Structure 1
Amino acid sequence: MFGTRTSAFLKLSKRDLKYDLPASVVVFLVALPLCLGIALASGAPLFSGLLTGIIGGIVVASFSGSQLSVSGPAAGLTVIVLGAIQQLGAFETFLLAVLLAGAIQVVLGILKAGMIGNYFPSSVILGMLAAIGIIIILKQLPHAVGYDASFFGEESFIQLNSENTFSALQKAFGAINLGAVIICAISLAILIGWPKIKKLSIVPAPLVVVIISVLLSLAFVGTDFELAGNHLVVIPVVNSFNEFLGLFTFPDFTQIANQDVWIVAFTIAIIASLETLLSLEAVDKIDPFKRVSPTNRELLAQGVGNMTSGLVGGLPLTAVIVRSSANVNAGGRTRQSAILHGIWLILAVLLIPSIINLIPLACLAAILLHTGYKLAKPAAFKQMWHKGLDQFVPFVVTITAVVFTDLLTGVGIGLLVAMFYILKDNLSNSFEYDIEENEDGAKITFTLAEEVTFLNKAAIQKALHGLPRRINEIIIDGSQSRFIDKDVIEVIKDFEQNAVSKGKSLELVGIVNKKNVPNIRRFTQSILKNDSLKKRAVKKPSETI
């Protein structure tokens, strides 16, 4: 659909390059401080964060079937990584756990565990997207005003520096740097207005933002608006290729029998896989072409990526919604955008680290603020409201839970609420009925739904045993059902005996359990042929059914 599919990073689609090239620059600018910030918060070398971003771009995107997803170090794994490095005692031992986690993900992909991603309700995924947008705005506001106490890319409500999202905001607005505010405000104005000028829109607005912000930062030197060192990007400066090679770290394979290594590996594999599947589903929701990413192939790609990362000194990686949404908003069309962003990360470290270190965090915060607004714009809330409470309530609960906890916990809470509405709808839609009045009483026809599971048992049982006394003819029609659970058939069998014993006329249509459960219609006919049972039914006192 969008030109030649890229099977490796050297084979690019010329048709989509005009979209993917500028998008890759935007993703690079967003990913750069996130990689550094997550590495810093994880207690790992700064280069390991950059290396993870490079692998997530080049390696994972080359194997992935997702066209817009971007992988890299995940903020959601920060606490786990920090604790694991301390627990295992050495970064090299931790790298072995990362490599093993990747191997586990490959196995999960082969076993087709990615199918789990198909069962996340749409309301929860959309709620997660809106929540990420809100979190981006709340977390980037301190960086926008020059308060950089927390690492760039923090997502959890309770931060590693013992503050929470709101206390950090309160402190931020008490320590405003006017230079950062000016840079952020100008950056936002450019991001909003630049694309509207057709003749200029060929140049990516975020690139313009970075250039102007660097010039402003240099102009502020020696004035009251000067930015301190912690207000700028800081990446390792590499003076030679040999020095670059010296930054790589390799796993300690002598710890392969260490039980703690395997526990960490399984923990990382499961959490990283869940976060990847959630991000993948979310990216597909905002893909303008509504493509569906193959989840099992993504697990394989992530597994290969984590094995590579662990082998050369990187951190655990996942598909990341912040980078992916930035890719979508920047107009990316294929996975070559993610691949190119990985190439830009390599070149930045090797060729222009000193220039990269001049970029103010405030302008990068503006890019993320712009992205966050697009994810959590008011129109999304209005759209979900019009879909009904069964969609709006899980949507809002997911947003609230993700904002006040973390991604996986919040989504888990949202899933529970969504399941409540799914079960409620399932119970109420298990059958339809139609009542016809006649001279002797009334006739009722129950038409069972296409799928009747054990969850429908209580509703069907209550309806059958709560029939008015005037009903003397009952038809239960299962001819339209593809599946009727054994428990439900058992309820119908019990009711049949009860109804026949009271002299009611009961007919079963198409209710046959094809898996070793007797045909109820035959069972009914055998009862009706039993004259002694009929006589006893006439003599027995009538009861309300």
Structure 2
Amino acid sequence: MLSTLKKSADLRRDVLASLVVFLVALPLCVGVAVASGVPAELGLITGIVGGLIVGFLPGSSLQVSGPAAGLTVLVFEAVQEFGLGVLGAIVLIAGLVQLTLGALRFGRFFRAITVAVVQGMLAGIGLVLIFGQLYTMADVKQPRSGIDKILGVPHLVTEIATSSDALTAFAIGAATIAVLVLWKKLPSRAQLVPAPLVAVALATAATAVAGWSVPRVEVQGLLSAVQPPGLADFTSLASLAGLGTVLAFALIASAESLFSAAAVDRMHDGPRTDYDKELMAQGLGNTVCGILGALPLTAVIVRSAANVQAGARTKLSRILHGLWLVLFAALLPAAIGVIPLAALAGVLVHAGCKLVPVKDLLPLWRAHRGEAVVLAITAIAIITTNMFEGVLLGLALAVIKCAWETSHLHLDVHEATGGRLIVTITGSATFLRLPRMLETLEALPKDRPVELDLSELRHLDHACRMTLENWAEQRGTTIGSLTKV
């Protein structure tokens, strides 16, 4: 009896949670698609795949997948460079890469990526997203590169100030952001209705009542939007740029999904995530999205947090949210076509602001300046170059920083009987510390015998070993405990 009651309660919670996630996912699916430069329907298709396919798969039972704001910039750049038809091929191959990595049990290794690089990646994405969507809010064509988007802000301000159409559209977007910010200050009962849905609904209603002529979302229907990639789309990726884009899709989508899983696990006391299975689930989802020519799919912390906070108990909630997306797209497609683009841009500007860890920057600088530098350089590199190169630079800096911090080396020079000098080297001797070690050794008096004591040395790499041997041979001195290191 108790078991039946518990199942009934869990079912009720899952159904209610699925409705909440659906209401959060709907404007984000459409907004991410529009910001990515693709038809709005492709965002809905990806959301549906995230619910009805990934939702059934093992891995993480409560996190929800769909199109993510974090990949918007990368998708936009890929569509601009390769064309919309090639997007499906990119996503499909990236999905197969994820499936392979999951099968080889690489899922757990994504947890080893330093948080500074991930935060820098999200901050860079967030800043490009914010500045890019400011142009969409004003119905002004945005520049392609991230740095041009930032440098073009003065011109954007002039455009808004001198054009009534731009000012009207921008006001709609700004009002949408204001609703999103103020909604959290309302009583908890009011917040049961998702803020993005309220903001977009109010902006749509105000636009309709006032009769403002502003750009709106264009819709054609789900089936007509499905464009499977052809053989020519795959062959166009046979270049370094194409392979780099595929790798960037796979790695960034995987990292975002698995970091989201770690965050979701901290929100509930249910079963923990199996990272390898979750990576394979995301890979299968992206493979299907690629076949359908849709947007890439990742686990999304906004939807996942809404799912947990709404009281979801099983994966049924995320499956049902996909079903509600199907029913909405099938029964009420015209409802999407009345949404102002400026309102969706406002939602994404707000989402981009949440990607920038403003509150964490000062504490991070005080406690771990090296991590703060890695974060900042990663973000700046993404803005000035692109996502893939920015993340690679961040990872390289993180590795160099780690190697530098772990290669602590201390040289102590003291006199012994007979006028001998004993140089005791402790710590880790790597090539990174060669300059300092050579400066100390070469500064020793040449007219006094010297003995090197390496008995306390934890590590000695090949470069340092050869340097010490050559220096000892030139000085005609001895090295203690060299063979033991």
Structure 1 length normalisation: TM-score?
Answer: 0.68
- What's the counterpart of residue 344 of structure 2? 364
Judge conservation of contact 2:63–2:305 (CA < 8 Å) in 1: no
- What's the counterpart of residue 236 of structure 1? 220
Letter of the aligned partner of 1:27 in structure 2? A
Alignment of 1:220 onto 2:210: yes
Distance in 2 (CA, whole Å) between partners of 1:50 and 1:475 is 67
Judge conservation of contact 1:142–1:168 (CA < 8 Å) in 2: yes
Question: Larger relative contact order (C-alpha < 8 A, sep ≥ 6)?
Answer: 2
Judge conservation of contact 2:34–2:40 (CA < 8 Å) in 1: yes
CA RMSD of aligned residues (A): 4.4
Distance in 2 (CA, whole Å) between partners of 1:96 and 1:205 is 35
- TM-fit CA distance, 1:250: 4.6
- What's the counterpart of residue 425 of structure 2? 446
Length, aligned pairs only? 460
Distance in 2 (CA, whole Å) between partners of 1:414 and 1:97 is 23
The correspondence for 2:201, drawn from 211, 232, 235, is 211
Provide, for residues 77-125 of structure 1, a one-character-per-residue CA deviation record: whole Å limited to 9, x for no partner: 3443455458xxxx5x985675455434433443455577456443232
Distance in 1 (CA, whole Å) between partners of 2:76 and 2:158 is 24
Letter of the aligned partner of 1:355 in structure 2? A
- What's the counterpart of residue 35 of structure 1? 33
Letter of the aligned partner of 1:410 in structure 2? G
Distance in 1 (CA, whole Å) between partners of 2:335 and 2:306 is 23
The alignment-based identity, stated in percent, is 24
Judge conservation of contact 1:55–1:72 (CA < 8 Å) in 2: no
Distance in 2 (CA, whole Å) between partners of 1:180 and 1:265 is 36
The correspondence for 1:147, drawn from 114, 118, 139, is 139
Alignment of 1:132 onto 2:125: yes
Alignment of 1:393 onto 2:373: yes
Judge conservation of contact 1:23–1:332 (CA < 8 Å) in 2: no
Alignment of 1:274 onto 2:258: no
Alignment of 1:485 onto 2:461: yes
- Correspondence 1:260-409 to 2 at 5 A: 260=236, 266=243, 269-280=246-257, 283=260, 289=266, 296-297=276-277, 299-311=279-291, 313-315=292-294, 317-319=296-298, 324-327=300-303, 330=306, 332=308, 339=319, 342-376=322-356, 378-409=358-389
Alignment of 1:476 onto 2:454: yes
- What's the counterpart of residue 55 of structure 1? 49
Judge conservation of contact 1:115–1:296 (CA < 8 Å) in 2: yes
* Change over 3 Å in CA distance of 1:60–1:81 after alignment to 2: farther
Distance in 1 (CA, whole Å) between partners of 2:92 and 2:353 is 36
- 3-state SS, counterpart of residue 300 of structure 1: helix
- TM-fit CA distance, 1:136: 2.8
- What's the counterpart of residue 533 of structure 1? none
Letter of the aligned partner of 1:188 in structure 2? I
Judge conservation of contact 2:374–2:398 (CA < 8 Å) in 1: yes
- TM-fit CA distance, 1:220: 0.7
- What's the counterpart of residue 75 of structure 2? 77
Distance in 2 (CA, whole Å) between partners of 1:448 and 1:56 is 50
The correspondence for 1:103, drawn from 96, 102, 111, is 96
Distance in 2 (CA, whole Å) between partners of 1:387 and 1:149 is 41
Distance in 2 (CA, whole Å) between partners of 1:393 and 1:17 is 45
Provide, for residues 375-407 of structure 1, a one-character-per-residue CA deviation record: whole Å limited to 9, x for no partner: 325323212321344223222222222223332
* Change over 3 Å in CA distance of 1:137–1:373 after alignment to 2: same
- TM-fit CA distance, 1:419: 4.7
- TM-fit CA distance, 1:249: 4.4
Judge conservation of contact 1:114–1:295 (CA < 8 Å) in 2: yes
Letter of the aligned partner of 1:52 in structure 2? T
Larger Rg: 1
- TM-fit CA distance, 1:356: 2.3
- TM-fit CA distance, 1:302: 3.8
* Change over 3 Å in CA distance of 1:80–1:269 after alignment to 2: same
- 3-state SS, counterpart of residue 477 of structure 1: coil
Distance in 2 (CA, whole Å) between partners of 1:62 and 1:265 is 31
Q: Mean Cα displacement is larger for which, 259-268 or 418-427? A: 259-268
Judge conservation of contact 2:63–2:307 (CA < 8 Å) in 1: no
- TM-fit CA distance, 1:29: 1.2
- What's the counterpart of residue 541 of structure 1? none
The correspondence for 2:181, drawn from 192, 209, 224, is 192
Alignment of 1:512 onto 2:454: no
Distance in 2 (CA, whole Å) between partners of 1:53 and 1:175 is 36
* Change over 3 Å in CA distance of 1:307–1:234 after alignment to 2: same
Judge conservation of contact 1:426–1:456 (CA < 8 Å) in 2: no
